[in-house]
Amino acid sequence: MSCQVRESVQTWIDMNPGYVHRLYDARDRLEFVQQHYPQLLDLFIALPTNVERADFWRYLALHKLGGVYADSDVRCMQPISSWNAEHGHDAALLAGIAKRTPHGYTIEFNQFVMAAMPGHPVLASMPLIIASSLASTFLQGHGVSRQGQFHDAGVLGRTGPGAFTAALRHYNVHVGGHWPINSTRADQLGGILLGTVRAMPKFVLGMGWETIDYNMTCDQVKQKVRTEAYICHQFFGTWKKQPEVSTNLTYSNCATGLRYAEHSSSSSSSQEQRQQQPRAAAAVAAGAAAAVKAFTAV
């Protein structure tokens, strides 16, 4: 773990002393699924990359435990107890608006930080959405085209923000809300309540790109530009080939530059296993309905 990541993790501990803090690695995530959601273990293992398994796990962890999930490169900028306080803590799930997208969604939600009560229906719907996307990946790889909002190719669509946004969209329609969401109105009101979900403005629960735009550290942006920000995402993401942060920023206890602790990739140990994995994934996805039924009944 790099110095910058350790410093990010420490901000959560320093600002929230009354909370239990847990840090999970790949082995911990596997053991968590084995213990709490064994009916979804095959689907979890079938996901092609470590980052997709990390995505899937975060939904399961919040569904089971509740609380706040944050990537290790996200800094806490305000105590959790103050989050959504201006609205009387009226939501069971806080989701940060990320951006407008050209493919069906006026906005996209990030999932590098989320706060939720245990058992929220948006989180309960994630296994079905991910299984559907995984099956679509298999079909597309064999010359069969599948059209639909669940079936966006790639990590971001299969398990990441695209999948999370699909779940929020369906939940919003289910509770009689309007879609697409007016993100300008969300900015003005400090978030929009969708059933028991509050869609939070990007500069509150998605701040981070400003460090690049202004060539500032998170603390400087918080003081000078985005005083409302709950968090700051530093985009050290180890699954990316190149860091999308300014490497000339020096943090308080760290030397200039970035170091990566690990690189997420396919878990297969050979080319043959990698070729077989989509077929195995499709088989898991085809039988996922029973697992999801058991999951949502919990």
**Closest among 209, 220, 211, 109 to 166, alpha carbons compared:** 109
Q: Are residues 40 and 143 in contact, defined by beta-carbon separation less than 8 angstroms?
A: no
DSSP state of 266: B
Which residues form the domain of 149? 3-17+25-296
The pLDDT tens digits for 180-190 are 777 777 777 78
Percentage of residues in the chain having pLDDT higher than 90: 46
180: cis peptide before it, omega within 30°? yes
Domain count, the chain: 1
Please give the model's pTM, rounded to 2 decimal places: 0.80
Could you tell me if 97 and 109 are in contact, meaning their C-beta atoms sit under 8 angstroms apart? yes
pLDDT in tens, 211-221: 878 888 888 98
The partner residues of 93 in beta bridges, in order of sequence, read 116, 197
| Residue that the structure tokens 């400003």 belong to | 210
Q: How far apart are CA 265 and CA 260, in angstroms?
A: 14
User: What would the two tokens of residue 266 be?
Assistant: 């396919």
The end-to-end CA distance of the chain, in Å, is: 35
